[in-house]
Structure 1
Amino acid sequence: MLCALIMAGGKGTRFWPLSTAEKPKQFLNLIGEETMIQTTVNRVLPIIPIERVFVCTAAMYVDLVKEQLPELPDRNIIVEPEGRNTAPSIALSALVIKRYYSNINMVVLPSDHLIRDEEKFRSIIETSNEYLKENKSAIVTLGMKPDRPEIGYGYIKYGIEEVDVNDHKIVKVEKFVEKPNLETAKAYLEDGSYLWNGGMFLWNIENILNEIKTYLPNTYEAIKGIEDVKEEELQMLINSEYCKTDSISIDYGILEKSNEIYVVPSEIGWDDIGTWKSIERYREKDSNNNIISDNVTVIESKSNMSINKGKKVVMIGIEDIMTVETDEAIFIVNKDYMENLRDYQNII
């Protein structure tokens, strides 16, 4: 049996002013008609029923989760009292999920990624789940084959030890490496044995809890009471004990220490929608490379992007400009400044 854990607690500051602390990017429709979290959940529903989909988020986003995912059971919303990085949030979520499903396999997914080949993605998840049934001590991750020297992602170096399962290769991981500089990223691309780390993992719930107990004993001891506490006292225990966990990523805390990490090299049309440039890659463009909506008129203008909420926008004779309308202001920005917009938050 397989369940899904959707990580949805981030604040999406790189998308300011569109993404705010009150409504971050996972709750916005940045690419299509659905919000990012709706797309993520709908992507797994053909293979995982909604009663086995869990969302870990912050208390301030619970109402947004309920509004955008009305079919999700209330018990499946796991509330972090504070952000303490991915290792404690995964430990918290695994302990909560174990209350309802023992010895289940989990797939952990970010709430804000783009995957264009959803059918192949689901095939890889099902294959990895089958592998875990026979290899309960393994941790499996998806590694995306790079098509450019990307400096914004971490990488996975894989070795030669591999098995074929249902037309997919599962390969032993040699190491995880941090975001490289451009020269190193080019070398990784040429080498061919490095994959992008997309932060998607599969494991048996008992195994990941044993790994946490072994490598992050302080975190496990702090919140192990989740397993036995009464349902009506669960959130109270989480609120009082979660602050005692180690604030560390799952990569540093577990994956770089564990001995049985495997990767499925994946070509699924993946992208981490984490920057304005990533939106540029996937939003529909007109014949002059403008990204616009029905409420935007462009005249002798090219390579612009307009994200407007209601005001009519008219662009005349401009190039490489982005406009973003929020409730507070209209931003008109040279694209060279797109990735640093959050540095100007104090002007509002």
Structure 2
Amino acid sequence: MLIPRERLFTVVSQNHLDYPDVEKQLAGRPAATVIEQPENKETAPGLLLPLMHVFRRYPEAVVAVLPSDHFIVEEALFMSYVDLALRIAERYPSFIVLLGVEPDDPEPEYGYILPDKEEHPLAPLRVRNVLRFVEKPDPSVVQELLTGGALWNTMVMAFKVKTLFRLVQKTIPSLYAAFARIAEAIGTRSERDIVKAVYRRLETVNFSRELLQAQPQNPGIRLLVLPVRGVLWSDWGSEQRVLTVLRKLGYLGRLEQAAASREARLRQFAHYLPKRSVA
């Protein structure tokens, strides 16, 4: 195993633990690495809870956040961009580096990042300051965004954990205070009760909209975007996007043919199947 077991954290909702299969899967995990989230309070708490555990154990940690429902063809090339983002975040601790994919069509259901056109001191690495975010724009303005050099926001990002918590502290102090209380309880007997109590009072907070987009250039914290080229990337959060990608790759026709062939075989052998009796 490339990563020691004690450094792999698993986040589960408490209602997942009602399922025997989940209990089986978690049985071999070191106890301190299984993190229970009492309730769904949107994406910010969902990310901050495991990051607080990482921060308590590894205060200088640099992490990459990779959403789980993405489809990427050129995986090795994409991960080279992730590696570059991690190196930038490690070298420049005040930077939060997002990956933005160069669009190949005007997709109104994606979020967009509008980068600064001016050269950044790290221009050889092709990063740019983030000017603003545009979430699911009206179809009438998508082409204008593309003309202005906007990138698809993958929400893949790299940063020092303590930098992100500094951003939270500056942007939503009450959210920071809630997780600071959780931090003090980690590893104690009262941890589970305190996490539940904090979550009961916690408001829902969207990570992208209420943290990243609230103030793109916080004092002492810089949001940068690293343009990703030569990678077929798609957010598979909708059935239509799955079909679009399969069509681009030439797989959709084959799948449709296979489905039609299977249906034909079933019809061919249907008369051999026993008839169902209806009472």
TM-score, normalised relative to structure 1: 0.64
Q: Alignment length, in residue pairs?
A: 255
Q: Structure 1, residues 237-274: CA drift from partner, whole Å, max 9, x if none? A: 21121232331212222212141100011133211001
Contact 2:90 2:159 in 1 (8 A): no
| Cα distance, 1:147–1:286 mapped onto 2, change above 3 Å | closer
Distance 1:287 1:199, change over 3 A: closer
Aligned to 2:35: 78
User: Quick check: 1:220 aligned with 2:176?
Assistant: yes
Question: Between the two proteins, what is the percent identity of the paired residues?
Answer: 25
Secondary structure of the residue that 2:131 maps to in structure 1? strand
1:127 partnered with 2:84: yes
Aligned partner of 1:137 in structure 2 is 94
DSSP-derived class of the 1:202 partner: strand
Task: Report the CA distance between 1:53 and its aligned residue.
Answer: 4.2
CA distance in 2, matches of 1:69, 1:118: 28
Matching residue within 167, 174, 184 for 1:211? 167
**Which has more radius of gyration?**
2
Residues 306-347 of structure 1, C-alpha deviations (whole Å, 9 max, x = no match): xxxxxx64499xxxxxxxxxxxxxxxxxxxxxxxxxxxxxxx
Task: Provide the residue aligned with 2:253 in structure 1.
Answer: 289
* Corresponding position: 1:58 with 2:13: yes
Judged with a 3 Å threshold, the aligned counterparts in structure 2 of structure 1 residues 182 and 314 are, in CA distance, closer, same or farther, namely: farther
Once the 2 structures are TM-superposed, how far is the Cα of residue 153 of structure 1 from its aligned partner?
0.5
- SS of the residue aligned with 1:177? strand
Give how far 1:231 is off: 4.3
Deviates more, 1:52-61 or 1:255-264: 52-61
Pairing 1:1-348 to 2, within 5 Å after superposition: 51-61=6-16, 75-159=32-116, 160-164=118-122, 168-191=125-148, 193-229=149-185, 230-256=187-213, 257-259=215-217, 260-267=222-229, 268-283=231-246, 289=253, 291-292=255-256, 296-298=259-261, 313-314=263-264
Counterpart-to-counterpart distance in 2, 1:288 and 1:206: 45
Deviations 1:165-208 (A, max 9, x none): 8x7421111011121122211222233x1001111121111111
* Contact 1:91-1:220 at 8 Å conserved across structures: no
Name which structure has the greater RCO, CA cutoff 8 Å, separation 6+. 2
What is the deviation of 1:71? 7.9
**Distance in 1 between residues matched to 2:170 and 2:240, nearest whole Å:** 40
- Measured in 2, the distance between the counterparts of 1:67 and 1:232 equals 24
1:304 maps to none
User: Is contact 1:219-1:244 (8 Å) kept?
Assistant: no
Shift of 1:151: 0.8
| 1:215, distance to aligned residue in structure 2 (A) | 1.2
Residue 8 of structure 1 is matched in structure 2 by: none
Gaps of 5+ in 1: 1-44, 299-311, 317-348
Measure, in 1, the Cα distance between the counterparts of 2:192 and 2:44: 19
Whole-angstrom distance in 2 between the partners of 1:145 and 1:70: 42
- Amino acid corresponding to residue 131 of structure 2 in structure 1: E
- In the TM superposition, what is the alpha-carbon distance from 1:211 to its structure 2 partner? 1.3
Matched position secondary structure for 2:192: helix
CA distance in 2, matches of 1:228, 1:270: 39
Q: CA RMSD in A?
A: 3.2
Shift of 1:292: 4.5
Q: Which moved more, 1:126-135 or 1:156-165?
A: 156-165
